[in-house]
Structure 1
Amino acid sequence: MDFMDLLRSYPVIPALRFEGQKKIDLSSIQTGGPCFLLDGNINTIKLILEKIEKHFSTFFLHLDLFSGLSADQDGLIFMKKHFQEINGIISTRSRTISLAKKLGFITIFRIFLLDSESLNTGLKVASQLSPEAIEILPGIIFPFIQKQIPIKNLPPVICGGFIRNREEVKSILQSGATAVSTSSPDLWMRG
């Protein structure tokens, strides 16, 4: 399944945080989709992947949030060699996205929207990087600003942040986003 088909088939992406969590219940998710790994360190990646590998087909690691892994070329080569289960890299840093792309990772460029200038700058950088997707945060505002975003000229848009219920997910997807990422387990449920 190619990346776009994956997002269309699994439009709600679990965004997993393990540090400080006693247990993450994945029993109600639709298996076979992607997930975002949002925290951890070089010593916990294998353990995390072992816990969740049967539930997901595609793993994206937010490299900016993992400790012990450098976002430089050597760090990415190390990841590619030692953590082959990781299919993609999420980052707010253009250099990280560029390096990850060259090494064959699926890349997601994360853009934090503080104002219209951050939107314009983020979209300009994204057009230069050509990531496989753009993640817009906070995703909850997407329906209100989507007219300012040239969705047809962009890779798939994923929205994350402050998405708490199914109505918000529906509104975001109906506004043109391809998928949402969320750490709210209630939204990971099948169907």
Structure 2
Amino acid sequence: MLDIREVLYENPVIMAIKDGKDLRECLKEEYSDNKVVFVLFGNIETIPTIVKKLKNKDKIVFVHENLIEGLSSSHFSPSFIKNYTDADGIITLKAQNTYEARKIGLSSVFRFFLLDSLSYGSVKDTIKNTSADLIEVLPGIMPQIIEEITGWSQIPLIAGGLIRNKVDAMAALSAGAIGVSSSNTKVWNI
């Protein structure tokens, strides 16, 4: 498995692509320094081609299993991604799938949505029950929360969601995130 931390140390901006337009954009030469891509769209027929295009540009590709049409987040999702694509890892909302991914040699990002104090309270217990390589916290514009989580979690954190500019990205990174994911192409160049 790859050490994503080293890659993000060189360039902490992760290109999150949500459609074909984003895919075409992130393949441009101006984004050659951006090595990590989160694929947030596609279906079971198109995802192998999407991943192949990204891998041909030497990208490290994580597929969000919950957002691929026709691919549920069952424990079979990681094996489908492993067997039918060249993806490096998955993004998942299920702790169990981080174990499945690790067993078959895929990296995993465990994604959290922090909506309120109740969801924040469950994060600590959930992180203990995962074998994810990275955790992603959404929205990523909560520096205090990011700092708290990175203070007690051993798993590196990515801030995602609502990262709109350099100020947002730098606040997340200064709070302890090792990377920021964004579908905003303006953020990709910072």
Per-residue deviation at 1:23? 6.5
SS in 2 for 1:60: strand
Aligned partner of 2:157: which letter?
A: V
**Contact 1:127/1:154 (8 A) holds in 2:** no
Aligned partner of 1:97: which letter?
A: T
Unaligned regions of 5+ residues in structure 1, if any? none
TM-score, normalised to structure 2, is 0.88
Cα-Cα RMSD: 2.1
For residues 39-58 of structure 1, what are the structure 2 equivalents within 5 Å? 39-58=41-60
- For residues 106 and 52 of structure 1, the distance between their equivalents in structure 2, rounded to whole angstroms, comes to 17
More strand by share: 1
Residue identity (%): 33
- For residues 153 and 122 of structure 1, the distance between their equivalents in structure 2, rounded to whole angstroms, comes to 10
Corresponding position of 2:105: 104
Deviations 1:20-49 (A, max 9, x none): x48732322134611100111011112212
Unaligned regions of 5+ residues in structure 2, if any? none
Corresponding position of 2:66: 64
Aligned partner of 1:174: which letter?
A: S
Aligned partner of 2:127: which letter?
A: A
Per-residue deviation at 1:115? 1.4
**Contact 1:173/1:179 (8 A) holds in 2:** yes
Aligned partner of 1:76: which letter?
A: P
- For residues 77 and 145 of structure 2, the distance between their equivalents in structure 1, rounded to whole angstroms, comes to 36
Corresponding position of 1:176: 176
2:164 aligned with 1:167: no
Per-residue deviation at 1:13? 0.2
TM-score, normalised to structure 1, is 0.87
